[in-house]
Amino acid sequence: MAAPTFSAEALKGRRVFPLLDVDFGTAGAFRIASESVTVPGDGGGEYAGGLSGFAFSDEVDLFGITETNRSISIAALFPLEVSRLVAQGFDLTTATATISLWVDGTNYEDRRVLISNATLEDPEFGELFEPVRFSLRTNYFDSATLIPPASHTVTTTTWPDHDEAITGRAYPWIFGTPGRTSGVGSRFGSEALRVTGGSGNNYFLVAGHPVEPSSIVYIASKSAIGTLKGPLTPYTARDGNGAEVSLVGPIDPATMTIGDNEEFYVKWTQGGGRPRRHGTEAVTNAGDVLEFLLNYAPDIQIDNGRTAAARDALSGIQFDFVVEEHVEIWRLLREHLLPFVPASLGTSGQGVYPIVWDRALTKSGAVLNVDAERDDWERTSNVSMEFLDRSPYNVFNIRHSKNIYRGRFEGIARLDGTKTTSTAYARASVARYGAFEKTEEAIGIYDDAAAFQIATWWARVYGFPIRSVEYAAPIDFGWLLAGSVILFSDPRLNVSEQLAIVQSIEWSDDRILGVRLVWLEDLPRDDRAV
């Protein structure tokens, strides 16, 4: 597998070449670089000159929730008459290409793959000896995969004897232990669907998938909500399409209020829902949920190594929720997970991965100490200052602990920057700007501690403007990645050893890197005056 990045030692004093591998199918395969080079190593070989217009930006929306596919603009001169090929019926948009960066003197297997096996997007061609212009683009964030899948729906095929009131309902997907508090006194966290019944015994679908083996649930009908049936142990069964689900039953209608068009609710008192990819324990924390959702979609390419590292870093944030309607994975992540965790989604040549922002970041965590004057970083922009939500926020209300039966959130965590008991970040923001409130609903949070953990994170990113600035840097710094943390100084800007994050790295033909740095003001850490 190609190396995901370079080392500082590998780049020092070396040239970096973009390598383009294009497959035109029966018309042939071609290898083109910015100039003729011979690449040693397994899989290497001769690359002809003819590549120009190369421009690539590795970037991430560090404190937001915008997903960005990778895109690279290319102009390549091919050793064939492309117009003739097209006239003969070849569709250029079906050609595939891989673009990578290779350091002179290293082996082919050490190259950094930027985009692999992508189709040519918006190609433009002219006469013989004119370059073909096109873009290569990842499709990591184009997935329309649904959770639950569309087939997880109550129909006469999946459940011939179901209650007509639930026709067309999606199977509930359970993550963690929704509604959890403790014991039988927990909140109703999800609904149960009466998929068989009538005059005989009744079976209820409590999850559209297997659940943690130790799970215990209680159910109740809406018309007799105070009367719980349980404890019940869910077991794995299959619907009419062969999909695995979790049922409870049989339940004698004489022992429970069961009527047509009745609604039923579930208390999860032990165990949990969807098991982890490897093992039987339930997916319970933000890292687990993020890893599961990314891996669930077959058309999403995942950088598994970096995703596993991020999973461990986010393991301390508990998430418990139910998905009751068919929803795209990206929407679920964008609306209900990413806003509540200190992480963004980045991309590598291997795929999508989470970038975790270390809330306890110190100078010891920086991977590099840069002095703009000493290291020949030339500033190409002014320093901009912009609030994440166009306004400072320093008083936070997070509504949590949703009771599915009541249809409302029964808990609220408030971090008030006007109080002495608040965080230093929120208090400093209020002192500077005045009090501004932000209120959100968190469907996956069921305790104050987790909600306050989120609010504490928000106080750091919403309370002060994000500063950003762009530089042109020598190619020697190309080992940096989007998300890398550096110590940065620029005496001309009166910036001294500021902890900054690399938001983007831009490669181009001129052997100069474009680097965009961002940083948050951190008054308690940096001991700066308000």
pLDDT of 360 reads: 64
What's the CA gap between 153 and 404, in Å, rounded? 20
To the nearest 10°, report the CA torsion of 34, 38, 39, 41.
170
Q: Which two tokens stand for residue 420?
A: 């002495």
pLDDT digits (tens, 9 = 90+) for 262-284: 899 999 988 888 888 777 788 88
- Give exposure, 494-511, as e/b (b: 16+ Cβ within 10 Å): ebeebbbbbbbbbbbeee
Share of the chain above pLDDT 70, in %: 94
* Residue-averaged pLDDT of the chain: 87
CA distance 355 to 347: 9
Cα–Cα distance between 514 and 470 in angstroms, integer?
7
pTM of the model: 0.82
- Which run of H or of E encompasses 251? strand 244-251
* 148 cis-preceded (ω within 30 degrees of 0): yes
Q: What is the pLDDT of residues 158-168, one digit of tens each?
A: 999 898 889 99
At residue 67, does pLDDT exceed 90?
no
Distance CA 233, CA 218 (A): 9
Q: What is the mean pLDDT of residues 192-201?
A: 80
Q: Give the residue-averaged pLDDT of 205-214.
A: 94
Residue 183 has pLDDT above 70, yes or no: no
pLDDT tens-digit profile of 151-160? 999 999 999 9
Question: Which residue type does 73 have?
Answer: S
Residue 174: φ, ψ to 5°: -110, 125
CA–CA separation, 145 and 274 (whole Å)? 17
Of 119-128, 181-190, 327-336, 423-432, least confident by mean pLDDT is 181-190
Res 159: pLDDT: 94
Going from the N-terminus, what domains does the chain have, and what CATH number goes with each? Answer: 8-137 (no CATH), 141-356 (no CATH), 363-387+465-526 (2.40.30), 395-462 (no CATH)
Q: What is the mean pLDDT of residues 109-135?
A: 90
